[in-house]
Amino acid sequence: MIKRLFLFTILITAAVSVSAETAVWSVLPEYNGITRLSDDLFIVEKGARSAIIDASGKEVIPMTLDSITPMVDGKSLLLTRDGSDFRLRSIIFENQRIVNVDGEYFVGDYPFFSEGMLPVYNKKGYYGYIDDEGRLAIDFKYRNIHPFSEGLASVSKISTGVFGSVKNKVSDLANNIAKRKTRVYFIDMHGKELKLQKDIGNITMGSTFLNGESVVEDTKGNFFVINTQGRMIKRLGSEDLTFDDRYSVVSDDETPQPVKTSGPQPFLDNRKYGYRSAKGGVVVVPQFNYAYPFENGHAIVKSGAFWGILALSDGKFDVTKRIVVKRRKNVDEVVEYNVTVPAGYADTPLSMVIDADGQKSEETSESGATRQFKIKTPESDYKLYLMSSNLILWSANEDVQTKMETADMMRISVSKSSKADKNDRAPITVRISNPTDEEVTIEVKVTGEKLTPVTKTLTIPEKSSRSIHTAFNNVTEASSKTVAVSIEGKTSYFKVNPVTPFFVDF
């Protein structure tokens, strides 16, 4: 039994514009979390531990830390847990200079340097300040302190209990002050107290200076705005105050400005993230669970359950194809894909992966500026992926479409009339023409009343034809005959008229 054969046409349907940029893995996706620390430094996490790597993946700080703070004023704090406290171990600068801290210092509500000073506390719970070389600059003699700004910081000397967290416009100090009036001072970087205007009196709250102004509250609950000389600028009524993370008073209508990014931007397609250039060309095809914008040539992405870092690379992947072996009876079609590779990938192994309804196969090429992949194509729609280290570099949907059955594409002609020979056999010719660009192999059956039946397998080259010869038997009188021609089980009918005998009576 000859299997029904179809002609297959392969169409590449990845109709998207292509960017002249691509991406490579700078850091393979193997971390539980990644946070950008600076242009060229990243915090990476595995389990409960943290480390710092550079943009190439080189370890700058080993995986020994419990917490790493964001870079503020060009400095980040490297911390380990000590019970419920975080002890300062080192300071890393944006230029990757590292200062190891020998003293037993802990950080609390303001874990960042401001004007070169860091609020810290000791085991007894007393607060002071260290400089960015890790040296104690102002001794531990305060119970509450705030960041320096414009050369001044507000502090309190009397215990008000453990100072809680200040998070985005909410200050526990304000709550403590409401419960218990505590005298507050402003000190300079040498610990010297700022003298306030005499009629202000003692204060129980003083916000961090911002643009030369601080909001203070006196012991009677009155609010004033003072300058850095301790002089009153104006009085305030009873009003709610909004604090930022430095304990400065800000307006409610001050909204954070969006972060400006450069380079390709993420886009979402079918619940996966990829990257597009500013002109809309696809730089990285959608494949990530989450993706951050490119900054300084690098982007943080989540691939599956883990995080990695991409780096931009010049060039693009150009893919062309050529049919090497055409599909025919008992022969699979073989397609050769030729890939022009960007310089950054010339020495990188690449794989061409075929995915047909979840059934995957792949061909690998180790190196070269151009690569060739010869693939036996399936007989159903499939997807193609060009990959390196689990990064999809190029993709296409290949639609293997049955344009029409072979019978519908073949052209059939049958003799219009026939005259019997002296043996009363009237010969006819059935011609099958193949107008396509593909060689086909088909099964043809020719039948009819008093017709010698023929079943034949024909291989017809492209744009060629083949003939089948047979004859009607016992033709003794003129008549019209019907011929049935079946190609791969699909039957067409043709009239042969007239069919005349060898001798005709007049």
The model's pLDDT over 97-119, given as tens digits with 9 standing for 90+, comes to: 999 999 999 999 999 999 999 99
Q: How confident is the model at residue 500 (pLDDT cuts 50, 70, 90)?
A: very high
Q: What b/e string do you get for 404-439 counting C-beta neighbours within 10 Å, with b at 16 or more? A: ebbbebbebebbeebebeeebbbebebebbbebebb
Q: Is the pLDDT of residue 95 over 60?
A: yes
Tokens at 252, concatenated? 């409610």
Q: Does domain 410-500 have CATH number 3.40.50.150?
A: no
Looking at 261-410, list the stretches that DSSP marks H as alpha helix, in order from N- to C-terminal side: 406-409
Report the greatest alpha carbon distance in the chain: 146
pLDDT band, residue 60 (cuts 50/70/90): very high
Is there a shared CATH topology between the 6-18+316-404 domain and the 410-500 domain?
yes
Distance, in Å, from the CA atom of 191 to the CA atom of 203, rounded to the nearest integer, reads 18
pLDDT mean over 202-214: 94
d(CA 294, CA 275): 9
Domain residue spans of the chain? 6-18+316-404, 33-250, 410-500
Burial (0-12, 13-18, 19+ Cβ within 10 Å), 64: exposed
Cα separation, 50 vs 43, in Å, equals: 7
User: What is the share, in percent, of the chain residues with pLDDT greater than 90?
Assistant: 69
pTM score: 0.69
Provide the residue type at 165 as one letter.
Answer: S
- Side-chain-side CA neighbours of 280 within 13 Å: the count stands at 3
Number of H helices, E strands in the chain: 2, 44
| Token reading at 165 | 């967290």
Fold for 6-18+316-404, please state it: Immunoglobulin-like (2.60.40)
In the DSSP assignment, the letter for residue 345 is: G
- Count other Cβ atoms within 10 Å, centred on residue 301: 26
